[in-house]
Amino acid sequence: MTYIHDTIVKLQKTSPAQAEFYQAVEEVLDSLQPILETNEKYKLHSIIERMVEPERQIMFRVPWVDDQGKVQVNKGYRIEFNSALGPYKGGLRFHPSVNAGIIKFLGFEQIFKNALTGLPIGGGKGGANFDPKGKSDGEIMRFCQSFINELYRHIGPTTDVPAGDIGVGAREIGYMFGQYKRLTGNYDGVFTGKSLLWGGSLVRKEATGYGCVYFAQYMLADKGDSLAGKQCLVSGAGNVAIYTIEKLYELGARPVTCSDSSGTLYHEAGIDLATLKELKEVRKARLSEYLAAHPDARFIPVTDYPADGHAVWRIPAQLAFPCATQNELTEADAQALVANGVIAVSEGANMPSTQDAVEVFLDAKICYGPGKAANAGGVATSQLEMAQNASMQRWSFEEVDEKLKVIMKNIYLSASTTAAEFGEPHNLVLGANIAGFRKVADAMIEQGVV
Ligand code: NDP
Ligand code: 2IT
């Protein structure tokens, strides 16, 4: 389609060197073909041209002093992408790979993901090219304070509400909230993913992983199948991976892998969740240390990975949950999964499968839940945290978990009925993109040229 080509060429010119952003845009535009062809109004209002351009991009210097007294400098970002449906909402990522293109792809995905939740939240994302690995608690605190010294003036409980992502959890949210409060004097719901001691919501920590498993459950139920007894591959060993593994056990499945940037852990007896939590949540240690407690497990270092992909996806299993990072599942990985009989893939991470890998899943007609649908439970529960903060209420674990299940079910139904409406019932990429797009685009038209 020429408009896809033209849009990408224009982005390459006006926003150079943002490969992940072009990838995310291309996937969405590709899905939108059937609706753009039949609806002149989107063209008339230049919806695509407006949607791919963030409403606002904030880029700033983050200077801080390390434990040796040396001044360090990082790049900070907040991209306020689209506020048609509500205040900008989306996480902050602290990882050395962060750049404007990464934050833009994440912010773009967030627009459609947030729309799919059915909740009143717009799309945004931020972060820094800061590497939290090996940093002391004091260094983390000083970095977070410096980051907020600039960001505080751009955020607020009804304007832009950040949360966590890679490298940002409750500890970092605590330091950032503390500095925001000091600078503004406001005690409000400007962040989500807060500690349970001071305004956080029950289930927020678990929500992305739990939601991703609920999504798999709904995809399988539609085929008359369930999670019970299924062998599962999980990648990543952070927040999303840990609570994916926890929920898989609760629903009778057997997760046998997890991974971090140093390698893949394969434990045929099933990953021991208590050991994993102790390693990653308490000690912040490397995954290979798991072997000390479980010598029957195997650790495959990244140096032993196949040249065309990742060891984790080469292990035979029925279900796969990519929960680490973007483009961590290649075309060859997807082919290996399908050849080994995988029946469902539910993405906890954002854009973990390359475009070619997605094609392999769609061609094989397996159940494939794209990230913007399958991992939306995290941001949805963030909005439940905002609702509790705004109404000064506190809901029980069961209440929030019940709402999360209903939201995930509705996301699944919205993606699957939209896919069926456009004649490709198995294609949840198409269904999720069109369903999310329609809500945002129609709101943009009603709000005029802004
Ligand atoms: P964490 O920081 O808690 O964990 C990230 C995990 O992924 C770690 O095991 C990390 O390994 C691994 N990882 C990260 N980057 C790379 C990389 N470049 N190469 C190899 N491994 C890597 O983050 P989360 O669990 O919160 O996030 C995981 C994914 O889920 C991300 O794609 C995020 O955008 C997405 N997501 C998160 C949500 C949330 O609520 N937190 C909501 C929706 C999506 P190591 O420690 O060695 O770096
Ligand atoms: O990618 C995501 O949806 C997140 N990191 C969570 C965002 C949020 O605001 O909870």
Same domain assignment for residues 222 and 361: yes
Is position 388 within any domain?
no
162 lines ligand 1 (CB under 6 A): no
C-alpha closest to that of 110 among 128, 88, 78:
88
Expressed in angstroms and rounded, the spacing between residue 47 Cα and the centre of ligand 2 is 24
> In the predicted model, is pLDDT for residue 163 greater than 90?
yes
Same domain assignment for residues 161 and 243: no
> In the predicted model, is pLDDT for residue 1 greater than 80?
no
Tens digits of per-residue pLDDT, 175-195? 999 999 999 999 999 999 999
What CATH number does the domain containing 88 carry? Answer: 3.40.50.10860
Same domain assignment for residues 217 and 354: yes
What is the length of the chain?
450
86 lines ligand 1 (CB under 6 A): no
Is position 270 within any domain?
yes
Go through 63-82 and write b for each residue having 16 or more CB atoms within 10 A of its CB, e for each that does not: ebeeeeeeebebbbbbbbbb
Is position 346 within any domain?
yes
What is the rounded CA–CA span in Å between residue 234 and residue 246?
11
- Nearest ligand to the C-alpha atom of residue 92: 2
Expressed in angstroms and rounded, the spacing between residue 63 Cα and the centre of ligand 1 is 25
Q: What is the pLDDT of residue 308?
A: 98
| Ligand 2, pocket-test mutation among 382, 400, 407, 411, most atoms within 8 A of CB | 382
Number of domains, the chain: 2
Is position 150 within any domain?
yes
Kindly list the distances between the CA atom of residue 247 and the CA atoms of 3, 203, 244, 394, in Å, as whole numbers in the listed order: 42, 12, 5, 23
Tens digits of per-residue pLDDT, 303-345? 999 999 999 999 999 999 999 999 999 999 999 999 999 999 9
Retrieve residue 130's tokens. 């800061």
Same domain assignment for residues 154 and 212: no
What is the rounded CA–CA span in Å between residue 273 and residue 253?
13
DSSP per-residue letters across 71-109 = EEEEEEEEEEEE-SSSSEEEEEEE-TT--HHHHHHHHHH
What is the rounded CA–CA span in Å between residue 285 and residue 233?
21
Sheet holding 254-255, edge to edge: 254-255, 231-234, 319-321, 344-346, 367-369
Q: What is the pLDDT of residue 68?
A: 98
| Ligand 1, pocket-test mutation among 121, 173, 261, most atoms within 8 A of CB | 261
Q: Is the CB of residue 128 less than 8 Å from the CB of residue 147?
A: yes
Q: Strands of 137-243 (E only): list them.
A: 160-163, 231-234
Mean pLDDT in the chain?
98
Same domain assignment for residues 137 and 216: no
Expressed in angstroms and rounded, the spacing between residue 324 Cα and the centre of ligand 1 is 4
Q: Of the candidates 374, 402, 434, which is a domain's last residue?
A: 374
Of 89, 104, 113, 125, the active-site residue reads 125
What range defines the domain where residue 233 resides? 207-374
The residue whose CA is least distant from atom 42 of ligand 1 is 378
Same domain assignment for residues 360 and 222: yes
Which residues are near ligand 2 (CB < 6 Å)?
89-91, 113, 163, 165, 192, 350, 378-379, 382
Tens digits of per-residue pLDDT, 70-90? 999 999 999 999 999 999 999
The residue whose CA is least distant from atom 20 of ligand 1 is 261
Q: Of the candidates 374, 406, 423, which is a domain's last residue?
A: 374
Expressed in angstroms and rounded, the spacing between residue 179 Cα and the centre of ligand 1 is 25
Cα 370 → chain centroid: 10
381 lines ligand 1 (CB under 6 A): no
186 lines ligand 1 (CB under 6 A): no
Ligand 1 atom with least separation from CA of 351: 32
Expressed in angstroms and rounded, the spacing between residue 123 Cα and the centre of ligand 1 is 19
Same domain assignment for residues 338 and 295: yes
The residue whose CA is least distant from atom 27 of ligand 1 is 166
Is position 199 within any domain?
no
- Nearest ligand to the C-alpha atom of residue 238: 1
What is the rounded CA–CA span in Å between residue 326 and residue 235?
12
Q: What share of the chain is helix, strand, coil (3-state, %, to 5)?
A: 50, 15, 30
What is the rounded CA–CA span in Å between residue 324 and residue 242?
11
Ligand 1 atom with least separation from CA of 237: 9
The residue whose CA is least distant from atom 35 of ligand 1 is 349
- Nearest ligand to the C-alpha atom of residue 209: 1
Is position 335 within any domain?
yes
Q: What is the pLDDT of residue 4?
A: 87
Q: Apex CA 20: angle with CA 152 and CA 18, to 5°? A: 75
258 lines ligand 1 (CB under 6 A): no
Burial of 222 (0-12, 13-18, 19+ CB in 10 A): middle
Same domain assignment for residues 269 and 354: yes
Is position 164 within any domain?
yes
Q: What is the pLDDT of residue 2?
A: 78
- Nearest ligand to the C-alpha atom of residue 280: 1
Q: Is the CB of residue 36 less than 8 Å from the CB of residue 439?
A: no
Expressed in angstroms and rounded, the spacing between residue 91 Cα and the centre of ligand 2 is 4
Tens digits of per-residue pLDDT, 105-152? 999 999 999 999 999 999 999 999 999 999 999 999 999 999 999 999
Classified as helix, coil or strand, 160 is strand
Q: Is the CB of residue 371 less than 8 Å from the CB of residue 357?
A: no
Expressed in angstroms and rounded, the spacing between residue 221 Cα and the centre of ligand 2 is 26
89 labelled catalytic = no
* Percentage of the chain lying above the pLDDT 70 cut: 100
Kindly list the distances between the CA atom of residue 317 and the CA atoms of 94, 119, 256, in Å, as whole numbers in the listed order: 32, 35, 9
Same domain assignment for residues 181 and 214: no
Is position 247 within any domain?
yes
**Per-residue confidence band for 3, with pLDDT thresholds at 50, 70 and 90:** confident
Across the range 387-414, mean pLDDT stands at 98
**pTM, whole model, 2 decimals?**
0.98
Across the range 264-285, mean pLDDT stands at 97
Same domain assignment for residues 177 and 211: no
Same domain assignment for residues 81 and 211: no
Same domain assignment for residues 179 and 219: no
